[in-house]
A and B are shown apart, each in its own frame.
Chain A
Amino acid sequence: MSTVVSIEGLGVSFATDAGAVKAVDGVSLKVERGEVLAIVGESGSGKTVTAKTILGLLPETATTSGAVLLSNKAGTSESDVVALSKKQLREVRGTDVAMVFQEPSTALNPVYTVGWQIIEGLRAHTSISQKDARAKAIEILGRVGIPDPEHRIDHYPHQFSGGQKQRIVIAMALVLDPGLIVADEPTTALDVTVQAEILDLLRRCRDEFGMGIVLITHNMGVVADLADRVAVMYQGKVVEEADAKTLFASPKAEYTKALLAAVPYVGTGTASAIERAAQRPADWVEQAPVVEASGLEIVYPGRFGRPGFQAVGGVDFVIRPGEVLGLVGESGSGKTTIGRAIAGLTKVTGGSLRVLGHEMNGVREREFRPLRSRIGFVFQDPASSFNPLLTIAECVAEPLVIHGRASNPAKARARVDELLEAVQLPKAYGDRYPHELSGGQRQRASLARALALEPELLIADEPTSALDVSVQARVLELFAELQREFGFASLFISHDLAVVDILADRIAVLYRGALVEEGTGAEVLGAPSDPYTQRLLASLPVPDPVAQAERREELRRLREAV
């Protein structure tokens, strides 16, 4: 084996308005040919900056020290990326090292065909004829698993699905046969079933093309699935480096241990769900449900003269008082639409949806407004769900002021302080602005705002998907605690089965706008009956390389059965 890239004592600093900030500090790493090195860490740990340095993609505000020695695939030349000029960098990019980006839909130019974009990269580096380049592009598209490549090469990016787009991005990286691919969160933007396919493809890149891969990710399941070696980064430093099996089996650094402990596993929530069920009064099943949907149908209006798009069709479910219903599905399955319909943000177009005893089909905003004080909503992105010009205390006081419990934010302050304490934020944080809080803190403040009026129903739309895994663990714990304390019913929407499992009493699985399976956590996750749920469950990578290898086999079997 030969070394493809060797990073030695790398340090990167950025010039910011607040002075110099060091993002990477004394990092040394090596990647061999045919090896996948995963760099894991939380937001701000410097993993992306490290990866970008390998391609010389840092912005102009950055200064670098140390060396990044990059070899070409044949091992005949070696260059220090840090010292290269812009022109030399252009030569190295593509031929020696290529990048796979996080978001495939923005990495492709929408106004050119995918073939043109692949050929463009080819012809920029080699003097190849148009005809040969096209043949090569077709070949590479076939090899990354695009069906009918002769025909599809002339299609535009929007004509491909998200997973196919990521395949094309990988094809663009592969076409010049570089020795190293840097994949920056290559599956984060994809659904879990598609993620499994892309990981398979990256594994083939390693095995068939003999490439070195630097995989940047925060998902420990992905690491377990693909990585040979793992480097854990924290605050700009590598805190631990080991091969994947050793790292997962016996982590040495405290940070790694904590990180692994925070990863949610499927099957951890069953016990607590049974415990909660046992505590319920006997007549609980007969109590009037908080939310009751029967034959719920939501159609988004189409453009003029075109039929609308049916996001949700024929969905039935109930949420009883004090119960947490977990709603799981991939992007586009209609789970967020259902959450928004319950909150009155999206119109119900058919069937019946009763929220707190009111029919939502054809409801008027004026009639619904008083009910809003009984519904709380937690949004997905904690960064954008607070008005940036108001302090946290003013934001949390907003519902109290709107519903007349306080005449102005200052008078509501006592109650706001109570709420902040309930979500375990110090009172003084009320005087801060949203941008002065971290993501997890903001999401806790968001919970405080949703709970301000002590609602009977809380809708949480992917409340933890924008958070780091360790922060997610704390927020989920807090959510469970608050649910116990306040006893609200909840619709918990998530794409992550493991997260839903921790909290939910019952789990409903949505697929293309229809409910395919519903039941308790033990039923749905323990013995799924629907083939889609089975696939979804098998696609979920577990943070354990040995177990994950078995699951991979099972998924292959399931896919062949379809």
Chain B
Amino acid sequence: MSTDTVIRAPKRRLRDRIPVVHQLRQSVGLQRGMLIAGLVLTGIFVFVAIFAPLIAPYGFAQLRDAAGPFGSQQPPSAEHLFGTTVGGYDVLSRVLWGAQTAILVIIIAVTLSLFAGVLLGLVSGYFGGWLDRVLVVLCDAIYAFPSLLLAIVMAIVISGGQSNLWGGVFAAAISITVVFIPQYFRVIRAETVRIKAEAYVESAKVLGASNSRVMFRHVLRNSTRTLPLIFTLNSSEAILTLAGLGFLGFGIEPTAAAEWGYDLNKALSDVSSGIWWTALYPGLAIVLVVLGITLVGESLNDLADPRLRGRRRVAQASGEVAETSVVPGGTLVAGPGGLAGLEDGESFDEHGIGVRS
């Protein structure tokens, strides 16, 4: 048999390999519903953040237009769909612009903590020893602090509490970063310690690979599988922390950027006097965005685990008998049972069902 006749395993199609799209196609039932709901909410959030300058009727710091000042605490009307705040800003515009601030903070905070946490976790888990102990204790110490308190301290240290757009965004982002690094550190370290004992890492060591080659070629790529989950869950937490900082008055000046937490803070006194619109919309925005991102994260989490993943029921004893076994003493030329015996493309291991004995 010539090797030319070997049928190449079909490459998985592109749409099956893009992370979220693959999961979407894989999901069924309630899990699919959750994922779609999450994706829609997150999609709207990202869309609004990008196109806020076009969608928002006014600027985030705009107090007056051609017809004069907006007036403070105006109820919803045709000019101001969501009304105006006590400071005289348009609520709708502030909510839309707020998405932009939120997404900036998420991107900066998660990127910073991702890089720092992953690198520290990898080094710490791979080499172990005293460095590992020190880093673990340090991360435990950070865990022991209430994260919001830590964020406040960091906000004060970085920017003196109040500042302009970038100052405020970075203050919030870095303070969130500090809180998140231990999470990435922990996850990557645990994975690294596990993978370090895997046979393929030992086999690389036996071959004489250097530490950095083993770390980055063999360990790193295999230890990042859970990152998209933490990534999404942390994004929602980042929004909550940002909102919390703003609510407590450590946020961004209203003239520098729109920020939901700050608006909620200013709406506190309105609530008791029956002015509902100033608190409702920023609050709703926070809830929906957090809900959307969390739904995506949770569904990805469930879909990543074959035991939690739902599947369509199959008809009574249907399907083909898989050619998992091997013709004894079969040809050595190709695969088990010759070429015909090869499962095309995908194997059971990938899907984690337990039909092996």
Which residues of chain A have a CB within 8 Å of any CB of chain B?
Answer: 11-23, 25, 41-49, 59, 61, 63-66, 184-185, 216, 218, 234-237, 255, 258-259, 261-262, 343-345, 369-370, 372-373, 375, 377, 379-381, 383-389, 395, 398-399, 402-403, 424, 426-429, 431-432, 435-438, 440-441, 449, 468-471, 473-474, 477-478
Tell whether, in the assembled complex, residue A386 and residue B314 are in contact, meaning their CB atoms are under 8 Å apart.
no
Set A43, A377, A424, A435: member contacting B324, Cβ < 8 A: A43
- Give complex CA distance A66, B317 in Å: 9
A13 to chain B, nearest CB (A): 5
Interface size, B (range): 35 or more
With both beta carbons as reference points, the residue of chain B lying nearest to A41 in the complex is identified as B325
Contact of A441 among B319, B325, B336 (CB under 8 A): B336
Beta-carbon nearest neighbor of B354 in chain A: A59
Q: Are A385 and B351 in contact (CB under 8 A)?
A: no
- Decide if A218 touches B357 in the complex (CB within 8 Å): yes
**Contact present for A383 and B328 (CB under 8 Å):** no
Q: Quick check: B326 and A440 within 8 Å, CB to CB?
A: yes
- Closest-by-CB residue of B relative to A388 is B222
B15 to chain A, nearest CB (A): 14
Does A438 lie within 8 Å of B326, measured CB to CB? yes
User: Given A16-B311, A402-B207, A435-B347, are A64 and B317 neighbors across the interface (CB < 8 Å)?
Assistant: yes
B222 touches A389 (CB 8 A): yes
Q: Is B327 an interface residue (CB 8 A)?
A: yes
What's the nearest-Cβ distance from chain A to residue B191, in Å?
13
B76 within 8 A of A: no
A16 contacts B206, C-beta separation under 8 Å: no
The reply to whether A16 and B353 form a contact with Cβ atoms under 8 Å apart is yes
- Beta-carbon nearest neighbor of A340 in chain B: B202
Are B351 and A17 in contact, with the CB atoms below 8 A? Answer: yes
Cβ–Cβ < 8 Å partners of A25 in chain B: 317, 321
Is A399's CB under 8 angstroms from B207's CB?
Answer: yes
Contact B321 A235, beta carbon cutoff 8 Å: yes
- A555–B318 Cα distance when bound, in Å, is 48
Question: Main secondary structure on chain B at its contact with chain A?
Answer: loop
Bound complex: CA A380 to CA B207 (Å) = 16
Q: How far is the CA of A65 from the CA of B321 in the complex (A)?
A: 15
Min Cβ gap B299→A in Å is 16
Sampled A-B contacts (8; CB under 8 Å): A20-B320, A184-B357, A235-B324, A262-B328, A343-B206, A379-B202, A385-B200, A473-B329
Closest 8 CB pairs of A and B: A44-B324, A20-B319, A470-B328, A11-B317, A372-B208, A258-B328, A48-B357, A20-B314
Task: For B336, list chain A residues within 8 Å (CB).
Answer: 438, 440-441, 471
Binary interface encoding of chain B residues 186-213 relative to chain A, with 1 for a CB under 8 A from any of its CBs, else 0: 0000000000001110111111111001
Q: Is the CB of B206 within 8 A of A372?
A: yes
Q: A63-B315, A449-B203, A470-B329 are contacts. A384–B221 as well, Cβ < 8 Å?
A: no
Q: Complex formed: what's the CA distance from A484 to B137 in Å?
A: 55
Complex contacts, A344 vs chain B, CB 8 Å: 206
**In the bound complex, do residue A13 and residue B318 qualify as a contact, i.e. CB atoms below 8 Å apart?**
yes
B199 near A23: Cβ-Cβ < 8 Å: no
Q: Could you tell me the distance in whole angstroms from the C-beta of A398 to the nearest C-beta in chain B?
A: 6
Q: Are A61 and B353 in contact (CB under 8 A)?
A: yes
Stretch from B1-9, B103-111, B115-123 that touches the partner: B1-9
Q: Mark B3-22, 1 if CB is under 8 A from A, else 0.
A: 10010110000000000000
**B199/A384 in contact, CB under 8 A:** yes
B32 within 8 A of A: no
Chain A residues positioned under 8 Å from B319 (CB to CB): 13-14, 19-22
Residues of A within 8 A of B324 (CB): 43-45, 235
> What's the minimum C-beta distance from A15 to chain B, rounded to whole angstroms?
4
- B8's nearest neighbour on chain A, judged by CB, is A428
Q: Tell me how far the C-beta of A459 lies from the nearest C-beta in chain B, rounded to whole angstroms.
A: 8
Q: Please indicate which of the listed interface residues B8, B9, B326 has the most CB atoms of chain A within 10 Å of its own CB.
A: B326
A-contact bits for B314-357, CB 8 A (1 contact / 0 none): 11111111111111111011111000001101111111011111
Instruction: Evaluate contact between A23 and B347: CB separation under 8 angstroms.
Output: no
Contacts of A19 in B (CB 8 A): 314, 319
Contacts of A478 in B (CB 8 A): 332
Query: Closest approach, in angstroms, between the C-beta of B216 and any C-beta of chain A?
Result: 12
**Given A387-B218, A399-B207, A436-B347, A22 contacting B200 (CB threshold 8 A):** no
CB interface residues, B 282-317, toward A, < 8 Å: 309, 311-317
- Which B residues are in CB contact (< 8 Å) with A64? 316-317
**A435 lies within 8 A of B327 (CB):** no
* Assembly CA distance A66 to B213 (angstroms): 55
Cβ-defined partner of A15 (8 Å) among B311, B335, B343 = B311
Decide if A235 touches B325 in the complex (CB within 8 Å). yes
Least Cβ–Cβ distance between B316 and chain A, in angstroms: 5
Interface positions, chain B 80-123, Cβ under 8 Å from A, are: none
Chain A residues near B351 (CB-CB < 8 A): 16-18
A14, A45, A369, A477: the one contacting B208 at CB < 8 Å is A369
Report the separation of the CA atoms of residues A101 and B356 in the bound assembly, to the nearest whole angstrom. Answer: 14
Nearest CB in chain B to that of A372: its residue: B208
Q: Does B255 contact A (CB under 8 A)?
A: no
Q: Is B26 close to A, CB under 8 A?
A: yes
Contacts of A388 in B (CB 8 A): 200, 222
B31–chain A nearest beta-carbon distance, Å: 13
In the complex, A43→B326 CA distance in Å? Answer: 9
Nearest CB of chain B from residue A393's CB, rounded to whole Å: 13
CA distance A431 to B6 in the complex (A): 12
CA distance A15 to B202 in the complex (A): 36
The smallest C-beta distance from A456 to any residue of chain B, in angstroms, reads 15
Bound form: Cα–Cα A372–B356 in Å: 36
A65 close to B317 (CB less than 8 A):
yes
* A residues in contact with B347, CB < 8 Å: 435-436, 438
CB of B311 within 8 A of CB of A45, answer no
Q: Which residue of B lies closest to A467 (CB)?
A: B326
**Which of A22, A41, A49, A345 contacts B202, CB < 8 Å?**
A345
Per the bound structure, the CA–CA distance linking A43 and B202 in Å amounts to 27
Contact (Cβ within 8 A) B325 A428: no
B residues in contact with A471, CB < 8 Å:
326, 336
Measured in the bound complex, the distance between the Cα atoms of B19 and A98 in whole Å is 43
When the two chains form the complex, which single residue of B204, B320, B333, B350 contacts A21, counting CB atoms closer than 8 Å? B320
Q: A377-B206, A385-B200, A436-B347 are in contact. Are A216 and B357 (CB under 8 A)?
A: yes
Q: A383 touching B206 by the CB < 8 A rule?
A: no
Residue on B with the closest CB to A65? B317
A259-B328 in contact (CB<8A): yes
Chain A residues, Cβ within 8 Å of B326: 42, 438, 440, 468, 470-471
List residues of chain B with CB within 8 A of the CB of A389: 221-222
Are B350 and A435 neighbours in the complex by a CB distance under 8 Å?
yes
- Shortest CB–CB separation between residue B312 and chain A, in angstroms? 6
State whether B355 touches A63 (Cβ < 8 A): no
Known: A379-B199, A384-B199. A14 touches B329 (CB 8 A): no
Task: Find B312's partner among A15, A49, A262, A436 (CB 8 Å cutoff).
Answer: A15
A399 to B9, CA, bound (A): 25
Asked if A384 and B198 make an inter-chain contact with CB atoms under 8 angstroms apart, the answer reads yes
Assess the B208–A43 pair: CB atoms within 8 A. no
The reply to whether A435 and B349 contact each other, CB–CB distance below 8 Å, is: yes
CB contact under 8 A between A17 and B320, given known A185-B357, A474-B332: no
* Contact in complex: B320, A22 (CB < 8 Å): yes
Pair B3/A428 contact, Cβ less than 8 Å: yes
**Is the CB–CB distance between B203 and A377 below 8 Å?**
yes
Point out the residues of chain B lying under 8 angstroms from A436, CB to CB.
Answer: 9, 343, 345-347
In the bound complex, CA of A218 to CA of B328 (Å): 13
